[in-house]
Amino acid sequence: MKDKIIKFIKQEYCIEPEYLWKKYPTFCVFRHMDNNKWFALVATLPRKFLGVPGDGMVDFINVKCDKENIDFLRGVPGVLPAYHMNKQNWITVLLDGTMPIKNVKKLLQDSFDLTM
């Protein structure tokens, strides 16, 4: 699902991923061209780093959320407090199929709009 999300962002927003950290080659950010604000971080980490049961790695996306919805969203399967971001404004969404891709795209659009 990670590759589908990256492809969707490229096509929908005409924005290329930025790989900013040599130490984390799977981490890419997407930002607005006009104000340089991030609207998504897509990455892969060991499940244990996110507190997710199981072994191995998991892909995820961090997106900004409306503060009124963040508590509700954290109760949705596959949604966690944001990894390495402000947890009052951002969430982490697992890209392992727990959440349907159409819902991930909706959250992505909300993040894009909130960071304009």
pLDDT in tens, 88-115: 899 999 999 999 999 999 999 999 999 9
Q: What tokens appear for 61 in the block?
A: 């996306």
Q: Which domains, from first to last, does the chain contain?
A: 1-42+61-76+91-116 (3.90.1150.30)
H/E run at residue 64: strand 57-64
Task: Give the number of other Cβ atoms within 10 Å of residue 19's Cβ.
Answer: 12
pTM of the model: 0.93
pLDDT in tens, 76-88: 999 999 988 888 8
The C-alpha atoms of residue 76 and residue 104 are separated, in whole angstroms, by 12
